[in-house]
Structure 1
């Protein structure tokens, strides 16, 4: 976490591209501002051409032989890249996993209330981890009472959502995952 700005490094969107004096190849393939190919010239000549036009020399591809550089306004290029990244971020959806816990002896009214909460989470396009916890000697009845209770929950949810993972035992917990219908 960056202490100065209070945000994670992954949230920083800096463009790491060689420009102007950072480009030190013997010769480069130069593209003009409008994308036309100028030809293969020395790095110093390419910088001079960019300077004459009041633009920057920006490395496009260092993998090519010779490396490809373009004469352009670097600040405008960086701005457009940032805008593209913001648009991509807007379009992506984040699916959270919510968790709802039950006990095998949960009463009917409480069960209905928790099922309503699960349906609210699923409507918001979140996955839900349904966990049934067994304490003490309740574990003896996991395959009977516990399985019956979780099947009741699954039956109540089937018409509104998809069961991603059927109920399975993990230690003292019976776990089932449900998600929104596609």
Structure 2
């Protein structure tokens, strides 16, 4: 809230230099702000009495936007990358997929390893869990199982994350 939007009777006022001016009536605070050619901005509305500051509102909004943008830059987003396998995968193909998953994990992403079953492959699901175990064993040095292998519909899914 700024200037005339402030409806409280009294506010704790902070001057343009940052010094405390104490608890004053809103009319007096508005008068001080107008004399300085600045705005009266409510910065802590939940305090008793609310805290207001005499500042340039446009500059204040710009600073807030800049701080928000800076905080966003520092955030790290983790994506979930998927590696698809089939029950009759050969060793070299499995090694290629392991290397692909290793790159994703080193970048800081999570890896979803899914083993897709088609047609008659559904009959041999028991032996297929071994493929996911082998996949994990090859990545054991840098990965941890976040969610163990679990059957969901026509695919068996396991999640891996980077070791901390």
Indicate yes or no: 2:84 matched with 1:101.
Answer: yes
Describe how 1:1-182 pairs up with structure 2 within 5 A.
18-144=1-127, 146-182=128-164
Q: Specify every segment of 5 or more residues in structure 1 that has no aligned partner in the other structure, as ranges.
A: 1-17
In the alignment, structure 2 segments of 5+ residues that lack a partner are none
> What is the number of equivalent residue pairs in this alignment?
164
Please, what is the CA RMSD of the aligned residues? 1.5
Q: Return the offset for 1:156.
A: 1.0
* Residue-by-residue CA offset, 1:129-149 (whole Å, 9 max, x unaligned): 0000112221221112x1121
Q: Give the alignment's TM-score, normalised by structure 1.
A: 0.83
